Chain A
Amino acid sequence: MPTIVVEVMPKAELLDPQGKAVAGALARLGRSQINSVRVGKRFEIEVDGPADDAILAEVAALADEVLANLVIEDVISVHFAGADGFGFDAAEDFATGNVTSDTSFDAAAASGATSDETEQQLDDEISEGLA
């Protein structure tokens, strides 16, 4: 039974409080080389029938409508998992075109949407809010 993997991440330009908390915990373990963590979601969806473009497109549409809220999240990729239904080879998926991807995420990341200054400002605002 083919499995389709959908990956969803919080929008790159938004603060990810969950990732920030995880990064803080890792830093407390002395993993000082870790700069930041962002936490997203991976859905593994089993489908009936052939592993073709039609079902991939159908799941991609559902990903936009239901699995992700495009106001706050981006769908990073929609692709078939490896034949064993668990592991998958991302390089192979990309090589064979077994991927539909939303490139706005990469574009936002490349433009450096979250600057250090913004992070610092947010930190300041948070501590003010809690004071």
Chain B
Amino acid sequence: MTSSAARIGVVTFPGSLDDRDAARAVRLVGASAVPLWHGSHDLEGVDAVILPGGFSYGDYLRAGAIASLSPIMAEVVDAANRGVPVLGICNGFQMLTEAHLLPGGLIRNDHGNFICRDQRLRVENTSTAWTNAFPDSAEITIPLKNGEGGFIASADVISSLEDSGRIVFRYLEVNPNGSMNDIAGVTNARGNVVGLMPHPEHAVEPGFGPDTRDAMRSGTDGLPLFASALASLLAAA
């Protein structure tokens, strides 16, 4: 398989905001981005799926809850269980927990405010389908923007996630939303499904990313997530 033959689908739900950004990130690493629609049962044969950020269904009921019952989510759950790489960003992460593809849940930020900042993270697990291009314990800065990003789970679930290395991203410096154990992102047992609250797709192109020491808006720390997916697809082919 060549890079451009790797097809990564990005699902658009009513209220998705970052679907175009995610598709752009996919193209920037050389893969093909395939737009998918929430109301369809057709994954169009894609090799990986991204559930983008936004406010699907206005966060009615619970963030991600109604989207997790969309027709396409039945196919996403099937694909995830077959080992297809699935990434949920922000609202997409909320959908993955609501669909029980990932453990735990996301609740309103403990301080009650929406937060938007460039957030420092540590990549704690570099063996997932979405993080294999990072060096071990890489520290990255990507934007975070959410109102309901507090990760919670029962004490048993938290300790089993810790023990099995399933915490993929952890907040550094500050805990921006009250997440237990500073958890910013987790994976499933197989390592093909990853969800995180911060937005890697907003840090993929110089001029549009977070500030770095070198230059304003030059941060591209989100790019390796998309490169990782491409690498795992090419390795599997």
Contacts and interface: CB of A to CB of B under 8 A. Distances in A.
Interface of A: 10, 14-15, 17-18, 20-21, 66-67, 69, 71-72, 122, 125-126, 128-130
Contacts of B97: 69, 71
Interface residues of B, number: 22
B110 A18 contact: no
Given A71-B153, A125-B175, A128-B174, A66 B109 contact: no
Interface of B is mostly: loop
| 7 tightest Cβ-Cβ pairs between the two chains A and B | A71-B105, A72-B105, A17-B112, A17-B108, A126-B111, A21-B112, A129-B174
Contacts of A20: 112
Contact of A67 (B61, B105, B154, B174): B61
A71 B174 CA distance: 25
Contacts of B108: 17-18
Chain A residues touching B, majority SS: helix
Given A72-B62, A129-B111, 14 more contacts: A15-B178, A17-B107, A17-B108, A18-B108, A20-B112, A21-B112, A69-B65, A71-B103, A71-B104, A72-B152, A122-B110, A126-B178, A129-B110, A129-B176
A1 B232 CA distance: 55
Interface in B11-40: none
A129 B175 contact: yes
Contacts of A126: 110-111, 178
Contacts of A14: 107, 152
Interface of B: 61-62, 65, 69, 97-98, 103-105, 107-112, 152-154, 174-176, 178
Contacts, number: 51
A122 B178 contact: yes
Nearest to A10: B107
A119 B174 CA distance: 19
Contacts of A128: 174
B178 A69 contact: no
Nearest to B108: A17
B112 A69 contact: no
18 contacts: A15-B178, A17-B107, A17-B109, A17-B110, A17-B111, A69-B62, A69-B97, A71-B103, A71-B104, A71-B153, A72-B62, A72-B107, A122-B178, A126-B111, A129-B110, A129-B174, A129-B175, A129-B178
B110 A15 contact: yes
Q: Which of B109, B154, B178 counts the most A-chain CB atoms under 10 A from its CB? A: B178
A18 to B, nearest CB: 6
Nearest to A122: B110
A126 B177 CA distance: 8
A69 B98 contact: yes
